[in-house]
Amino acid sequence: MEKSITMIGLGKMGLPMAENLLAAGYALTVFNRTVEKAAGLVSRGAVLAESPSVAVATGGIVVSMVADDRALLSLADDTFCLALGAGIHLSMSTVSAETNRTLSERHARFGGQVVAAPVFGRPEAAATRKLWIATSGPGTAKAQIKSVLDALGQGVFDFGEDVGAANVVKLAGNFLLAAAIEAMAEASAMAEKNGVPRAAMLQMMTSTIFNCPIYVNYGRGIIQSDFTEAKFSIPLILKDMHLVQHTAAASRAPMPIVNILCDRYLTALAKGREAYDSTALALGAAEDAGLNWLK
């Protein structure tokens, strides 16, 4: 029997993920608000639907990769949940735990199940199936979507039955990423103010005691200072940091560093840097020190 699946959201992450589903042999139906983004997929055999509820098949699998909590909850209205029925909604967006719990309650009224599966990796990782995926939700549903996740990433880490758990992990991970950028930026600014080029300092650190992908890749970004090509834009990472703030406050887990990160990104927006990449966080520490890292 031919495998079929629906993909909702064809942004910088969703589009390469959809391409990998096609490559894995799935009969793919897609929906995206900007229909032009689906042209390449349609030319390769995907079907473009006129609405999310038309895109899903009753009892089938739908993957969503949308911008934020509001977009996800707007997508999954009663019409959509009824159309999916006893199917599985694979929620891969970066949203709050409570949003996916609400999503699960909505689908349950129509017999459906939700599996949270947020991802770690940028668009190039999505294109090469190098995503790391955190999952949570009903065990029976996770078993049914295993082959889908195998077509999208290089590894899956399961965090139990609570559908919101994987989202907490995703927010924790994005906080750690931003905090690493801030720490490297502050250290780099201090080095340069004392006559040490940031490139020399970071190259030593990232080839020795901090030799791991995050420090290596984001350290390279700070050295090159090319922040204008946004693979993960500042409004999106600020949205995530606000979700971290909310999650921390709701659970009475103080996270003072996240407040600094939010202020850094808010300052970047105030300076008109909406289109900059999230690594432009580093400009804050540089400018505080009287340095100019913009090319």
Contacts of 183 (CB under 8 A, 6+ apart): none
% of the chain with per-residue pLDDT over 70: 99
Task: Say which CATH number the domain at 119 has.
Answer: 3.40.50.720
Please compute the mean of the pLDDT values over residues 272-282 and round it to a whole number: 95
Query: Does 101 have pLDDT greater than 70?
Result: yes
**What average pLDDT does range 268-286 have in this prediction?**
96
Among 242, 63, 147, which residue's Cα sits nearest to residue 76? 63
pLDDT at 60: 96
CA distances from 165 to 136, 162, 176 (A): 6, 6, 17
**Residue 79 confidence (pLDDT):** 97
Mean pLDDT of 93-118: 98
In a domain, 294, yes or no: no
pLDDT band at 61 (very low <50, low <70, confident <90, very high): very high
Give the amino acid at 257. Answer: I
Of 130, 162, 194, the position where a domain reaches its end is 162
Identify the residue whose tokens are 């895109």.
55
pLDDT in tens, 187-202: 999 999 999 999 999 9
Do residues 237 and 94 both lie within one domain? no
pLDDT, tens digit (0-9, with 9 covering 90-100), for 113-149: 999 999 999 999 999 999 999 999 999 999 999 999 9
Are 54 and 105 members of one domain?
Answer: yes
Band of pLDDT at residue 32, cut at 50, 70 and 90: very high
* Same domain for 141 and 12: yes
Cα separation, 284 vs 277, in Å, equals: 13
- Assess if residue 293 is contained within a domain: no
Beta strands 131-135 and 153-158, pairing class: parallel
Q: Is residue 295 included in any domain, yes or no?
A: no
pLDDT above 80 (res 47)? yes
| Sequential DSSP letters for 25-48 | T-EEEEE-SSGGGGHHHHHTT-EE
Q: What does the DSSP 8-state code read for residue 91?
A: E
93, 64 in Cβ contact below 8 A? yes
DSSP state of 236: H
Q: Residue 245 contacts by C-beta under 8 Å, 6 or more apart in sequence?
A: 255, 258, 259, 262
Bigger pLDDT: 294 vs 81: 81
Q: Is residue 145 domain-shared with residue 185, that is, in the same domain?
A: no
Indicate the residue type of 282. Answer: A
Give the single-character DSSP code of 277.
Answer: B
The verdict on residue 281 lying in a domain is yes
Domain, as residue range, for 275: 168-288
Last residue of a domain, one of 162, 196, 224: 162
* Of 45-59, 183-197, 222-236, the least confident: 222-236
Q: Are 243 and 235 in contact (CB under 8 A)?
A: no
Q: Which of 247, 259, 236 is nearest to 100 (CA)?
A: 247
pLDDT band at 1 (very low <50, low <70, confident <90, very high): very low
Cβ–Cβ < 8 Å for 48, 59: no
pTM value > 0.85: yes
> Does residue 190 contact residue 180 with C-beta atoms inside 8 Å?
no
The mean per-residue pLDDT over the stretch 166-195 comes to 98
Quote the CA–CA distance of 25 and 16 in Å, as a whole number.
15
Residues 228 and 205 in one domain: yes
How many domains does the chain contain in total? 2
Q: Average pLDDT, stretch 40-52?
A: 96
Question: Across residues 47-71, what is the average pLDDT?
Answer: 97
The residue type found at 35 is V
Which listed residue (12, 170, 239, 295) is catalytic?
170
Grouping H, G, I as helix, E, B as strand and the rest as coil, residue 154 is: strand
Q: Give yes or no for a contact between 117 and 133, defined as CB atoms under 8 angstroms apart.
A: yes
Residue 3 has pLDDT above 90, yes or no: no
In a domain, 195, yes or no: yes
Answer yes or no: 170 catalytic: yes
Q: Are strands 119-120 and 131-135 parallel, antiparallel or unpaired?
A: antiparallel
Contacts of 293 (CB under 8 A, 6+ apart): 222, 225, 282, 283, 286
Contact 65, 93 (CB under 8 A): yes
- Mark which of 108, 130, 162 sits at the end of a domain: 162
* Same domain? 27 vs 148: yes
Asked if 177 and 258 sit in the same domain, the reply is: yes
Mean pLDDT within 152-176:
98
Q: Is residue 265 part of a domain?
A: yes
SS3 126: helix
